[in-house]
Structure 1
């Protein structure tokens, strides 16, 4: 995990593996800030969808029980949303390094689209 201090806040960048471990342990709320179309095509199981175009940092709940971690396709949009949260007063916020691309590169399971049927299906990549 990398961290950066912005004013009095801490902005963390988590690896996909760190994110998966925390998500599996129910320690975080993972928020996908991509478009609904991107989410429907493929997403991380258990992630909540809150598209960046509708994002309002001031409407997020506090983090008293679980840390909020954002992700997108490449890490650019989730970093932008994280910085909006810091501007709104969050003291600790995180995003996933390289987003969904990093998640897939790390060969972590996710929900994808079966191209033959159009139905969602679990994708479990094989390790090298």
Structure 2
């Protein structure tokens, strides 16, 4: 298993702007109802199936959760399933918001 890469909110924002990142939010639907990054796809960790991740079409898959714990677990599960997904948003959506990046509320 490859080490999990910690990406900063700046790294992720740049990747979204460049269209080089597929952001996968592993939080639960009730959490997304409060705050979500618009370009992220949701694959909740409670029922996580790496096969449910859309084809990244050459993009880097980056996991996201609330604070950066579940996103690491998702990366480990995906790697265990043979996928090369080894990156997450360090600090999760909290770090994203603290860095001043936009997100949808409610």
Same fold (TM over 0.5): yes
Structure 2's unaligned 5+ residue stretches are none
1:20 equivalent to 2:13? Answer yes
Distance apart, 1:90 and its partner CA? 2.1
Greater relative CO, 1 or 2 (CA 8 Å, sep 6+): 2
Q: TM-score, normalised by structure 2?
A: 0.89
The root-mean-square deviation of aligned C-alpha atoms, in Å, is 1.6
Structure with greater proportional strand content: 1
Structure 1 gap segments, 5+ residues each: 1-5, 114-128
Which has the higher Rg, Structure 1 or Structure 2?
1
Q: How far off its partner does 1:42 sit?
A: 0.6
Secondary structure of 2:6 counterpart: strand
Change (3 A) 1:51 1:59: closer
Q: TM-score if structure 1 supplies the norm length? A: 0.75
What are the equivalent positions in structure 2 for 1:108-127 lying under 5 Å apart? 108-113=101-106
2: CA distance between counterparts of 1:92 and 1:111? 25
Q: Output the CA distance in 2 between the equivalents of 1:64 and 1:31.
A: 14
**Count of paired positions:** 106
Equivalent residue, structure 2, for 1:125: none
